[in-house]
Amino acid sequence: MDRRTFVGAVTAAGAAAILPVSGSLLAADKLDKIGVQLYTVRDLMKVSVEKTLADIAAIGYREVEFAGYFNRPPGAIRQLLDRNGLQAPAAHVGINLLRGPWNRTLDEALEMGHRYLVVPSLDPKDRDSVAAIKKTGDLLNRAAEDAKRFKIHLAYHNHDLEFQEIEGRRIYDLLLENTDPELVLMEMDLYWITKGGGDPAAYFARWPERFPLVHVKDAGPPPDSAMTEVGSGVMKWGEIFAKRKQAGIKHFFVEHDNPKDPMQSITTSYKYLRALRF
C-alpha cells in the first residue's frame, strides 16, 4: 500500500465513524489497547532491554508479549515494565516446559504478571498423527489444569501448518476438539491462519470466546502473501476486529517475524491500528 492509499484508507476509516445507518448515526469502534510481541524486536532486546522497552512505550504501546526473558530474572523485567507503564499479560513457553518443572514456570509467570502462557508451536512428534494430537491435547489439558490453580490460562498459538490435514483431518480442528474449551484457549495468529487457508471468522463462529489473544500482522497479495506491516497488506482488519466480541479477543499483539527495521515496523503498525475505526 502506497502512502496515498494509506492516507485514503485512514480518512475513510475516520469518516465511517459518522456514516448514517438506517437514518441514525453509528459510532465506530476502535482498539483501546495495542500490544506487541517482543519477538519482533528480539535483536534490539538482546542489545538493551531497558532502551527497547522504553522505546516501545514511547510509541504508545501499553502491552507486550514475551518470548523469553533475555537472560534477565523476572523480577528485574517486571520493574522495567512498571517503570515504562507497560503490562505483560502473556508470554510464549515451549511445550517441553509443560513436561518439565511446570510449577517453576508458573511461579515466574505470576511474578511477571502474566495471565496467559502460550505454547507457540508443536514438535513434529506431537502432531504427526491423530493419536499424537490427542496425546498432545491431553498434555495441554493437564498443564492448563495446573495453571488454573495459579489463575493463569494456557493457550496455543498457530502457524500455517496447523491448517494442513493429517489422516483426513485438519490439525487445528483436532487440537480444538481434543482440548477442554474451559481450560485451553487459543492465540490466533491472523497472518498464519490466512496464509494456511483458514478463515478466522469461521473459527470465531464455531468456537466463540475461545480466542482471547491474537497476533496482528499483515499479508501481501498472493501467491507469496509476504508478511508486512499492519495496514500495508490485503487483510481486512475492520471485518476481523468487528467480530472480536464473538471471538473473545482481549489482547491484540502486533508482530512481524523478520522486519527490516523492527522499531519502524512496529511504529507503522501501531499508527495504523490506532487510527483504525470499524
Q: Is residue 65 part of a domain?
A: yes
* Contact residues for 25 (Cβ-Cβ < 8 A; gap 6+): 18, 19
User: Is residue 107 predicted with pLDDT exceeding 60?
Assistant: yes
User: Is residue 18 predicted with pLDDT exceeding 80?
Assistant: no
Q: How confident is the model at residue 16 (pLDDT cuts 50, 70, 90)?
A: very low
Mean pLDDT of 52-65: 98
Report the CATH number at residue 38.
3.20.20.150
What's the pLDDT at 113? 97
What's the pLDDT at 27? 61
Q: Are 88 and 113 spatial neighbours (Cβ–Cβ below 8 Å)?
A: yes
Can you read off the three cell numbers belonging to residue 265?
515496523
Residue 268: which domain range?
33-275
Can you read off the three cell numbers belonging to residue 84?
515504562
* Contact residues for 252 (Cβ-Cβ < 8 A; gap 6+): 31, 33, 34, 35, 214, 216, 241, 273
Q: Is residue 1 part of a domain?
A: no
End-to-end CA distance of the chain: give it in Å, rounded: 19
Lowest mean pLDDT across 15-29, 39-53, 96-110, 242-256: 15-29
What's the pLDDT at 185? 98
Mean pLDDT of 87-94: 98
Q: Is residue 238 part of a domain?
A: yes
Find how far residue 254's CA is from the centre of its chain.
7
Find how far residue 53's CA is from the centre of its chain.
18
What's the pLDDT at 20? 39
What's the pLDDT at 9? 43
User: Is residue 23 predicted with pLDDT exceeding 70?
Assistant: no
In the chain, the number of structural domains is: 1
Q: Is residue 15 part of a domain?
A: no
Q: Is residue 105 part of a domain?
A: yes
What's the pLDDT at 10? 39
* Contact residues for 232 (Cβ-Cβ < 8 A; gap 6+): 1, 6, 218, 220, 268, 272
User: Is residue 271 predicted with pLDDT exceeding 90?
Assistant: yes
Q: Is residue 258 part of a domain?
A: yes
Coil, strand or helix at 253: strand
What's the pLDDT at 123? 96
Q: Is residue 16 part of a domain?
A: no
Q: Are 62 and 273 spatial neighbours (Cβ–Cβ below 8 Å)?
A: no
Distance CA 18, CA 80 (A): 40
What's the pLDDT at 28? 86
pLDDT digits (tens, 9 = 90+) for 146-176: 999 999 999 999 999 999 999 999 999 999 9
Q: Are 6 and 232 spatial neighbours (Cβ–Cβ below 8 Å)?
A: yes
When the pLDDT of each residue in the chain is averaged and rounded to a whole number, the result is 92
What's the pLDDT at 240? 98
Distance CA 136, CA 119 (A): 11
Secondary structure letter of residue 265 according to DSSP: H
**Is the peptide bond prior to 212 cis by the omega test (within 30 degrees of 0)?**
no
Distance CA 158, CA 119 (A): 9
- pTM comes to 0.90
Mean pLDDT of 40-58: 98
pLDDT digits (tens, 9 = 90+) for 176-208: 999 999 999 999 999 999 999 999 999 999 999
pLDDT digits (tens, 9 = 90+) for 228-260: 999 999 999 999 999 999 999 999 999 999 999
Q: Is residue 4 part of a domain?
A: no
